[in-house]
Amino acid sequence: MRSAYAFITLGISGLCGFLASVSLASAADVVKAGFTRNTGDVGFFVADERGYFKQEGIEFQQIYFDSGARMIVPLGTGDLDVGSAPANVGLYNAAARKIDVRVVADRGRTAKNNMYQTVMIRKDLIESGRFKDYRDLKGLKFAFTAPGVSSLSVFNEALKKGGLTFADAEKAFMGYPQQVVAFQNKAVDGSMMIEPFGTALVDMGSGVRFAPTEDFYPDDQISMIVYGDRLAKDRPEVARRFMKAYVRAIRDFNDALDNGRWRNTPKADEVVRILARRLELKEEQIRRAYPHAVDPDGRVNTDSMRKDLAFFRQIGDVADPTVTVETILDESFVLTAVRDLGPYRPAP
């Protein structure tokens, strides 16, 4: 009797151990991703809500930051796995300090007929005649999300179009939601503004879209997906699965667009609903806002990145001459995702 009891006990114990091992083996891999709560995060939102991350065995966790530039340090320490960042000074200087933070995919860019990123000017300055064209940027106070962001390079091109230099305008630094408040309080005169904040300012009567950045800086690589070293090097298979889910999502996003505007299709409606839910906006606000462009294969515009790096060197923000775009770029993950998914075929 004792031996039978012992056998049963051992059997139950073994079964529990087996179930525990199965549970551990099938547990989702946690990936912590930073987001800035704007429409550029659509790839994250769609992949999460349509179950693409779950299908790849990933538990997706998001952490809010007021700018992509502030994600670099936690990406370097491993407190964050995935970030969204402009081609900023922090990326290059982190590489100079041997902090392995890698640009791995496109997150958002401008394109022909695209109004996602614009020179936004306070409405009262235009109505009073204080601001009429690019020359009138002289002496204005412009808002940017943080020092060393690539939108400073874009702004430099706007200044050049008016025959001005980078020193001819004042700069202030604050997140996009704070910029909206600053426009209303007249604490800033303008911004290199993105959506949906630009549309919000127009609706409030506080700002006017003076010009899209395509007018003076075509095909600007606004922001990229960035991997921290601990994800890319220590968990490469998880990084590849994450990218596959992300590329599926940005392809869905591309299928929702036509010539820089939202399409009137069920797929577009679903993407709009996801954005509205995640950004806590009404669907009509999302539809009225201009969507950004993103490469359906996740490839980044390296020419734009090189242009920004040259500007950072010019103003002395990147001193190490050995750091290049190739130093921080790793497109192996998107190339693998595209190989697995096959070529992108636009929706009819």
Alpha helices in 214-261 (DSSP H): 229-232, 236-255
- Tell me, yes or no, whether 75 and 210 share the same domain: no
- Tell me, yes or no, whether 207 and 266 share the same domain: no
Segments of the chain scoring below 50 in pLDDT: 1-13, 15-25
What DSSP character marks residue 129? T
CATH number at residue 307: 3.40.190.10
Is 2 contained in some domain?
no
What domain range includes position 56?
A: 25-109+222-341
For residue 73, the model assigns a pLDDT of 86
Quote the CA–CA distance of 264 and 112 in Å, as a whole number: 20
- Tell me, yes or no, whether 61 and 183 share the same domain: no
How many distinct structural domains can be found in the chain?
2
Is 17 contained in some domain?
no
- Tell me, yes or no, whether 144 and 211 share the same domain: yes
Question: Which of 215, 250, 276 is at the close of a domain?
Answer: 215
For residue 70, the model assigns a pLDDT of 81
What DSSP character marks residue 213? G
Question: Which of 215, 250, 285 is at the close of a domain?
Answer: 215
Quote the CA–CA distance of 284 and 270 in Å, as a whole number: 13
- Tell me, yes or no, whether 198 and 275 share the same domain: no
- Alpha-carbon torsion (103, 301, 112, 149), positive or negative: positive
- Tell me, yes or no, whether 151 and 166 share the same domain: yes
Quote the CA–CA distance of 184 and 116 in Å, as a whole number: 21
For residue 32, the model assigns a pLDDT of 97
- Tell me, yes or no, whether 230 and 329 share the same domain: yes
For residue 18, the model assigns a pLDDT of 42
Question: Which of 215, 233, 267 is at the close of a domain?
Answer: 215
Is 347 contained in some domain?
no
Is 237 contained in some domain?
yes
- Tell me, yes or no, whether 234 and 103 share the same domain: yes
- Tell me, yes or no, whether 141 and 210 share the same domain: yes
- Tell me, yes or no, whether 175 and 255 share the same domain: no
- Tell me, yes or no, whether 76 and 175 share the same domain: no
Provide the β-strand partners of residue 109: 221, 293
Q: What angle do CA 157, 158, 162 make, to 5 degrees?
A: 110
Q: Could you count the other beta carbons within 10 Å of the beta carbon of residue 240?
A: 17
Output the DSSP codes for 34-68: EE-SSGGGHHHHHHHHTTHHHHTTEEEEEEE-S-G
